[in-house]
């Protein structure tokens, strides 16, 4: 039998009678650490014990320390049969060595018994008058990067051992809370001679001089802290409610289509401008559109934001078997090949033509053309070299020349489309984004046109009064002038 007991938070009054009886009645007592205020009281009571403090120097990580302790406890049990393992606080609260030990006991069918104790959480609740019914989350400082913070409930962070860990905790908190948010610095809770509980702003956390192994912090509920995803969901719900915004209440999936497209293009503009503030704003606008559609789905009873998130999480895991499974993909090309194959299976495509047909028709035509051509290339339907693609452009150009004077508008439309489609093919061969290329030319045209207008204005001329020859002369000037300035 392994008896697992807790020594409480540090005050001898917090030791339970059951724990004291076990400690005094058993011959083999092992303490995780002697760095606990009650250890001196145990010595006075005549309790003989051994500690595992040397393990902290023998291993590089705390996980290894706690695993090593649990393994040795099992060895001691095999040797002595009946032993006691004592830990600070409550055995099941922020005590990884006990978790490891219980797992080993279950695997080896070794009997064990947990003796409850007062935990540091109990003392913190009592000192700060916290009712856990209102919500309380307990986080190990070493695991904070894997945790989701929530300003809607109080949060206790334990095992803030030193200034380095305190700094790591502070940085994690500042990603979510305001730097002026007040928190409670708690040291040696429940130990009268050592206890210190005080309010500090988050940014001062790692500046405290008395940080040690008895340190925890408490972040109260802070609804006025930085906005999070749930705030956005709540705002959207309010806007669509009975007393919400008249315009928002009228919207449908169909009516919102144009706004989603517009916001995406504004994101692209922010990226091109290399404007981070603008990018933050425009990404927020795109996120709003996602939340808006999810709210509509929720109201209609078909889906909600959780379904959207669940779907994309599953897709990312399924489409990245080289990360989340045992598929090998060392290059970006291999990743894309896997991606396409998985997508074909997911969508149930039986033919390559089905893939082409499922490229969205709402895409900009240049982008859709490029995607169609790239799909066809994967089965070998492509020119061998760029010169072949260029010759195709010339061929299509001649066909436009042959029909443009005619009255068959459908034929002119067809041949112009073929010419543009062939030009996109050349872009693809040269690894040039056709949308970017065309936008570059548009911007260049606008810049040169501005030069013409500015030049005309400087000579008190109006463009409407100038002939094409005069404007063309200024156009050529613009080409030379702007080229020298590297502005096109």
- pLDDT, position 222: 86
Based on its alpha-carbon atoms, the radius of gyration of the chain, rounded to whole angstroms, reads 35
8 and 112 inside one domain? yes
User: What is the span of the domain harbouring residue 237?
Assistant: 229-303
Separation CA 37–CA 50 (nearest Å): 16
Decide which of 118, 135, 164 is a domain's last residue: 118
- Assigned domain for 243 exists: yes
- Assigned domain for 183 exists: yes
Separation CA 218–CA 25 (nearest Å): 37
Q: Is 87 helix (H, G, I), strand (E, B) or coil?
A: strand
Cα 464–chain centre separation: 55
209 and 235 inside one domain? no
- pLDDT, position 35: 84
191 and 205 inside one domain? yes
What b-and-e string marks burial along 43-67, b requiring 16 or more CB atoms within 10 Å of the CB?
eeeebebebbeebeeeeeebeebbb
235 and 215 inside one domain? no
Decide which of 192, 219, 246 is a domain's last residue: 219
- Helices of type H across 109-180: 120-128, 163-174
- Assigned domain for 457 exists: yes
Per-residue pLDDT of the chain (488 residues; tens, 9 = 90+): 999 999 988 777 788 889 999 999 888 999 999 888 888 888 988 889 999 999 988 998 888 999 999 999 999 999 999 999 999 889 999 889 999 999 999 999 999 999 989 888 999 999 999 999 999 999 999 889 999 999 999 999 998 989 999 999 999 999 989 889 999 999 988 887 788 999 999 999 999 999 998 899 999 998 888 889 999 999 999 999 999 999 999 999 999 999 999 999 999 999 989 999 999 999 999 999 999 999 999 999 999 999 999 999 999 999 999 999 989 988 998 898 888 889 888 888 888 899 899 888 888 899 999 999 988 998 899 989 999 999 999 999 999 999 999 989 999 999 999 999 999 999 999 999 998 899 899 999 999 999 999 998 998 888 898 899 989 988 888 888 877 676 66
CA dihedral 365, 368, 372, 373 (to 10 degrees): 70
Number of domains in the chain: 4
213 and 292 inside one domain? no
Number of neighbours of residue 141 by Cβ within 10 angstroms? 21
- Assigned domain for 422 exists: no
H or E segment to which residue 138 belongs: strand 136-140
78 and 14 inside one domain? yes
Separation CA 296–CA 282 (nearest Å): 21
- Assigned domain for 349 exists: no
Residues paired with residue 90 on neighbouring β-strands, in sequence order: none
Decide which of 58, 87, 118 is a domain's last residue: 118
110 and 134 inside one domain? no
Q: Are 50 and 31 in contact (CB under 8 A)?
A: yes
- pLDDT, position 9: 84
CATH number reported for the structural domain that contains residue 138 in this entry = 3.30.950.10
H or E segment to which residue 30 belongs: strand 29-31
Separation CA 46–CA 23 (nearest Å): 10
Burial class from Cβ neighbours inside 10 Å (0-12, 13-18, 19+) for residue 79 reads exposed
- pLDDT, position 240: 97
Separation CA 466–CA 480 (nearest Å): 21
Half-sphere exposure for 487 (CA within 13 Å, toward CB) = 13
70 and 13 inside one domain? yes
Q: Extract the tokens encoding 97.
A: 């060595």
DSSP for 168-207 reads HHHHHHHTTS-TT-EEEEEESTT-TTT-EEEEEEGGGGGG
237 and 203 inside one domain? no
Q: Is 93 helix (H, G, I), strand (E, B) or coil?
A: coil
Q: Are 324 and 288 in contact (CB under 8 A)?
A: no
- pLDDT, position 317: 95
- Assigned domain for 201 exists: yes
Q: Is 397 helix (H, G, I), strand (E, B) or coil?
A: helix
108 and 131 inside one domain? no
- Assigned domain for 194 exists: yes
Separation CA 172–CA 149 (nearest Å): 9
CA angle 127, 133, 138 (to 5 degrees): 65
Cα 393–chain centre separation: 45
Burial class from Cβ neighbours inside 10 Å (0-12, 13-18, 19+) for residue 188 reads buried
Q: Extract the tokens encoding 465.
A: 């009064």
240 and 213 inside one domain? no
Separation CA 343–CA 358 (nearest Å): 12
Nearest to 187 by CA among 215, 218, 159: 215
- Assigned domain for 144 exists: yes
Edge-to-edge strand ranges of the sheet holding 29-31: 50-51, 29-31, 83-87, 2-6, 112-115
Q: Are 119 and 90 in contact (CB under 8 A)?
A: yes
């Amino acid at each position: 039998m392994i008896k697992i007991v807790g020594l409480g938070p540090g005050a001898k009054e917090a030791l339970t009678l059951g724990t004291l009886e076990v400690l005094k009645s058993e011959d083999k007592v092992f303490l995780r650490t002697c760095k606990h205020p009650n250890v001196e009281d145990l010595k006075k009571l005549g309790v003989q014990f051994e500690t595992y403090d040397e393990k902290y120097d023998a291993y590089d990580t705390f996980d290894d320390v706690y695993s090593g302790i649990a393994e040795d406890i099992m060895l001691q049990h095999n040797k002595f049969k009946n032993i006691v393992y004592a830990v600070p606080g409550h055995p099941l609260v922020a005590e990884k060595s006990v978790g490891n030990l219980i797992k080993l006991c279950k695997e080896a069918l070794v009997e064990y018994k947990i003796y409850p104790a007062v935990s540091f959480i109990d003392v913190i609740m009592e000192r700060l008058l916290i009712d856990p019914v209102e919500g309380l989350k307990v986080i190990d400082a070493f695991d904070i990067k894997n945790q989701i913070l929530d300003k809607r409930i109080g949060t206790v962070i334990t095992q803030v051992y030193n200034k380095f860990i305190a700094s790591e905790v502070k940085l994690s908190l500042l990603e979510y809370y305001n730097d002026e948010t007040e928190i409670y610095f708690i040291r040696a809770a429940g130990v009268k001679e050592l206890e210190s509980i005080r309010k500090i702003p988050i940014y001062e956390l790692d500046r405290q001089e008395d940080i040690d192994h008895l340190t925890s912090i408490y972040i109260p509920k802070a609804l006025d802290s930085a906005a999070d995803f749930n705030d956005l969901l709540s705002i959207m719900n309010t806007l669509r409610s009975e007393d919400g915004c008249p315009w928002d209440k009228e919207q449908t999936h169909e009516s919102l289509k144009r706004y989603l497209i517009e916001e995406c293009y504004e994101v692209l503009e922010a990226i091109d401008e290399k404007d981070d503030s603008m990018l933050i704003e425009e990404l927020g606008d795109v996120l709003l559109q996602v939340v808006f559609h999810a709210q509509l789905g929720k109201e209609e009873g078909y889906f909600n934001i959780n379904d959207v998130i669940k779907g994309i999480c599953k897709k990312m895991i399924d489409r990245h078997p080289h990360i989340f499974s045992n598929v090998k993909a060392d290059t970006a090309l291999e990743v894309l090949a896997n991606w396409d194959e998985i997508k074909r299976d997911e969508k149930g495509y039986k033919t390559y033509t089905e893939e082409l047909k499922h490229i969205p028709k709402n895409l900009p035509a240049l982008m859709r053309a490029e995607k169609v051509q790239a799909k066809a290339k994967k089965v070998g339907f492509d020119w061998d070299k760029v010169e072949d693609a260029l010759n195709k452009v010339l061929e299509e150009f001649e066909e436009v020349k042959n029909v443009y004077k005619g009255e068959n508008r459908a034929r002119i439309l067809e041949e112009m489309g073929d010419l543009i489609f062939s030009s996109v093919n050349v872009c693809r061969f040269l690894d040039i984004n056709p949308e970017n290329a065309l936008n570059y030319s548009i911007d260049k045209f606008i810049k040169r046109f501005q030069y013409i207008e500015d030049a005309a204005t400087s000579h008190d001329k109006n463009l409407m009064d100038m002939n094409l020859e005069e404007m063309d002369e200024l156009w050529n000037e613009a080409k030379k002038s702007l080229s020298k300035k590297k502005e096109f």
